[in-house]
């Protein structure tokens, strides 16, 4: 299950690295200090370009180094971490230690916290875990968390919650790989501005009050122990900087993962999650906009909906003749529910097979055991408890389909409004990046069919998964990307679109599958014409 990160070998520049060293034994003619001898051996093996860099050594390690060096006859493994422009010897191990260097990347979302265990030596993701953000008990959304943080010990409580959550997840990920926390030598974190503030213990008070001021927008130099994160205590922590109170490190990390900031053509990146963020731009300019407030797409809002985890139906195809579905379940076990991408697939297929009409109503004309009435509402059974691959009946009814239509309508309306305001036509987009934990499984063909994504050639879509998480992983493996982060920040602007009225006007036209204006979706041809 190891997935390599999109980093070319020449760009490998891990945040921490191990160097096995055999030091010359001290003698009367080589009587340099122990640390000096170590440093000079280390400089001999550092990659080109790092040999002139200053290497700091924490005092605590200076105190222990002499005896460590003598333990295995001057055979040691130096663990060296990057710290801005300098290097730091964060550990010294007696003997030649063969374990690769690992790092943890965290995407701190308001609802979900996604963690990635990364083998920095090989440039691969070796473990993933998504857990609920436990801060949710003190407020579902960002505003209520900011409010809670003002209470006595509120900020500390929220910080403790997220740190414990991260630590528990790290323990699970590490144990699976039989690693000790001290084998994890670097941490990379991306989050929206509020989540970043809470994690760092910074007051988010001014974030949501005019003129909306973050405490800090630049990267900080932090060690894991300062945040009580349970890795190697000297592990450097890179926190993706925010660009403004609405433009978080998660968006920056997402742009980094997409690579849109390197392209000459204009691309669009959208994170289809709780709050759809849209970024438009190229290597010369980047504009982020808040997706207009629409219903959540994650889990689709369906009664049998769930987030994209083990047991979720993530792919659906419907036989045009028998109307029987073929499903794919995450993890391959029995289906327990349906996630966003599954729901989009299902609605697209139901529409293309003529089971539902453009308003999302289940047609009376189709005869199949799959169509049933649940309560007063018609439903389609995408999985039946009696089937091998299902643990229960999984029904999607007209209300669920209606919710999806409102969500996809909001998404499409936001996309079309924002691109229009920025003077970009869908057909001129070079690449359309679909991100989000939701987006990891989405099938652009189905998303076009329901009218959520614009009808542009399929090859222009690039589904990149949790771009914030991937961006955070990439930083672990190629620390020099922090220069690209600065580049991204320097080219970025946030656009607060005042489109409330226009949005509502347009939304109605998008509440059809795929749209009232069929010319916008020329490629979508259902088997029944309505």
* 215 near a copy of itself, judged by CB under 8 A: yes
Q: Which residues, 6 or more positions from 428, have their beta carbon under 8 angstroms from its beta carbon?
A: 266
Among 213, 228, 385, 458, binds a copy of itself (CB under 8 A): 213
Residue 183 to residue 176: CA distance in whole angstroms: 13
Among 8, 85, 284, 365, binds a copy of itself (CB under 8 A): 85
- Compute CA distances 231 → 164, 296, 526, whole Å: 12, 34, 54
Among 71, 226, 428, 430, binds a copy of itself (CB under 8 A): 226
Residue 447 to residue 141: CA distance in whole angstroms: 27
Residue 370 to residue 353: CA distance in whole angstroms: 13
**Which string of x and - marks every residue 102-121 that binds a copy of itself (by CB under 8 A)?**
--------------------
Q: How would DSSP label each residue in 369-382?
A: TTEEEETTEEEEEE
Q: What SS3 state is found at 295?
A: coil
Q: Which residues between 411 and 450 bind a copy of itself (CB under 8 A)?
A: none
Nearer to a copy of itself by Cβ, of 204 and 454: the residue is 204
Closest contact distance (angstroms) between CB of 38 and a copy of itself is 9
Place of tokens 């731009």: 281
Q: In this chain, which stretch among 83-91, 334-342, 439-447, 473-481 interacts with a copy of itself, using CB under 8 A?
A: 83-91
Residue 25 to residue 87: CA distance in whole angstroms: 24
Closest contact distance (angstroms) between CB of 190 and a copy of itself is 17
Among 214, 281, 325, 469, binds a copy of itself (CB under 8 A): 214
Q: What SS3 state is found at 72?
A: coil
Residue 262 to residue 258: CA distance in whole angstroms: 9
Nearer to a copy of itself by Cβ, of 426 and 494: the residue is 494
Residue 493 to residue 286: CA distance in whole angstroms: 6
* 528 near a copy of itself, judged by CB under 8 A: no
Nearer to a copy of itself by Cβ, of 205 and 503: the residue is 205
Bridge partners for 119 per DSSP: 102, 124
Q: Which residues, 6 or more positions from 77, have their beta carbon under 8 angstroms from its beta carbon?
A: 18, 19, 20, 21, 92, 93, 95, 96, 97
* CA 2 distance to own-chain centroid: 17
* 222 near a copy of itself, judged by CB under 8 A: yes
Closest contact distance (angstroms) between CB of 23 and a copy of itself is 12
Task: Enter the tokens of residue 287.
Answer: 């504009």
* 34 near a copy of itself, judged by CB under 8 A: yes
**Which string of x and - marks every residue 4-33 that binds a copy of itself (by CB under 8 A)?**
----------------------xxx-xxxx
* 293 near a copy of itself, judged by CB under 8 A: no
* 228 near a copy of itself, judged by CB under 8 A: no
Closest contact distance (angstroms) between CB of 488 and a copy of itself is 16
* 201 near a copy of itself, judged by CB under 8 A: yes
* 220 near a copy of itself, judged by CB under 8 A: yes
Among 6, 43, 46, 62, binds a copy of itself (CB under 8 A): 62
**Which string of x and - marks every residue 131-170 that binds a copy of itself (by CB under 8 A)?**
----------------------------------------
| Pure H helices in 193-339 | 193-200, 224-227, 249-258
Q: In this chain, which stretch among 219-227, 298-306, 315-323, 455-463 interacts with a copy of itself, using CB under 8 A?
A: 219-227
Among 51, 164, 221, 392, binds a copy of itself (CB under 8 A): 221
* Cα-based torsion angle of the residue sequence 434, 440, 443, 444 in order, rounded to the nearest 10 degrees: 0
* Cα-based torsion angle of the residue sequence 462, 463, 468, 473 in order, rounded to the nearest 10 degrees: -90
The site for a copy of itself, by CB under 8 A, has a size of 46
Nearer to a copy of itself by Cβ, of 64 and 361: the residue is 64
Among 51, 56, 144, 164, binds a copy of itself (CB under 8 A): 56
Any idea what DSSP says for residue 4? E
* 218 near a copy of itself, judged by CB under 8 A: yes
Task: Enter the tokens of residue 208.
Answer: 């949501």
Closest contact distance (angstroms) between CB of 126 and a copy of itself is 29
* 51 near a copy of itself, judged by CB under 8 A: no
Task: Enter the tokens of residue 274.
Answer: 């709780």
Q: What SS3 state is found at 272?
A: coil
* 245 near a copy of itself, judged by CB under 8 A: yes
* 368 near a copy of itself, judged by CB under 8 A: no
Residue 195 to residue 201: CA distance in whole angstroms: 10
3-state secondary structure labels for all residues of 178-231: CCCHHHEEEEEEEECHHHHHHHHCCCCHHHHCCCCCCCCCCCCCEEHHHHCCCC
Nearer to a copy of itself by Cβ, of 82 and 431: the residue is 82
Applying CB under 8 A, the residues found at the interface with a copy of itself are: 26-28, 30-36, 39, 54, 56-57, 59, 62-63, 65-67, 84-86, 200-203, 205-206, 210-218, 220-222, 226-227, 242, 244-245
């Amino acid at each position: 299950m190891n997935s390599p990160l999109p980093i070319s070998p020449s760009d490998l520049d891990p945040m921490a690295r191990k160097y096995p060293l055999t030091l010359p034994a001290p003698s009367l003619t080589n009587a340099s200090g122990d640390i000096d001898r170590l440093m000079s051996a280390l400089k001999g093996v550092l990659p080109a370009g790092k040999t002139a860099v200053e290497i700091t050594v924490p005092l605590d390690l200076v105190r222990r180094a002499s005896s460590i060096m003598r333990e295995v006859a001057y055979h040691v493994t130096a663990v060296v971490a990057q710290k801005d422009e300098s290097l730091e010897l964060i550990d010294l191990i007696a003997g030649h230690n063969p374990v690769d260097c690992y790092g943890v990347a965290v995407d701190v979302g308001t609802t979900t916290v996604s963690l990635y265990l990364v083998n920095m030596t090989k440039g691969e993701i070796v473990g993933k875990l998504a857990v609920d953000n436990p801060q949710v008990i003190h407020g579902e959304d960002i505003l209520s968390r900011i409010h809670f943080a003002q209470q006595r010990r509120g900020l500390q409580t929220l910080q403790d919650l997220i740190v414990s959550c991260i630590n528990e997840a790290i323990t699970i990920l590490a144990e699976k790989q039989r690693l000790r926390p001290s084998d994890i030598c670097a941490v990379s974190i991306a989050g929206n501005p509020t989540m970043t503030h809470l994690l760092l213990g910074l007051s988010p008070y001014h974030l949501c009050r005019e003129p909306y001021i973050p405490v800090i927008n630049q990267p900080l130099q932090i060690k894991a122990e300062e945040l009580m994160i349970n890795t190697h205590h000297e592990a450097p922590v890179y926190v993706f900087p925010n660009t403004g109170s609405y433009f978080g490190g998660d968006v920056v990390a997402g742009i980094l993962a997409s690579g849109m900031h390197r392209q000459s053509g204009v691309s669009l990146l959208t994170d289809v999650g709780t709050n759809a963020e849209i970024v438009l731009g190229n290597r010369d300019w980047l504009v982020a906009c808040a997706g207009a407030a629409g219903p959540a797409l994650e889990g689709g809002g369906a009664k049998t909906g769930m987030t994209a985890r083990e047991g979720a139906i993530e792919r659906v195809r419907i036989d045009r003749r028998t109307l029987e579905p073929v499903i794919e379940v995450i993890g391959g076990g029995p289906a327990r529910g349906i996630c966003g991408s599954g729901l989009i697939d299902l609605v697209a297929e139901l529409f293309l097979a003529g089971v539902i009409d453009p308003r999302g109503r289940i047609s009376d004309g189709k005869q199949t055991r799959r169509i049933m009435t649940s309560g007063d509402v018609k439903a389609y059974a995408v999985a039946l408890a009696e089937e091998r691959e299902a643990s229960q009946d999984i029904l999607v009814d007209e209300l669920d389909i209606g919710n999806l239509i409102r969500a996809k309508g909001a998404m499409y309306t936001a996309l079309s409004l924002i691109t229009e305001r920025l003077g970009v036509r869908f057909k001129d987009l070079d690449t359309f990046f679909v991100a989000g934990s939701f987006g990891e499984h989405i099938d652009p063909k189905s998303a076009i069919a329901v009218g959520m994504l614009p009808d542009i050639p399929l090859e222009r879509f690039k589904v990149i998964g949790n771009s914030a998480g991937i961006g955070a992983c990439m930083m672990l493996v190629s620390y020099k990307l922090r220069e690209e982060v600065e580049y991204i920040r320097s080219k970025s602007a946030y656009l607060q679109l005042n489109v409330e009225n226009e949005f509502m006007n347009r939304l109605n036209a998008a509440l059809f599958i795929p749209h009232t204006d069929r010319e916008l979706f020329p490629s979508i041809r259902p088997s029944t014409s309505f």
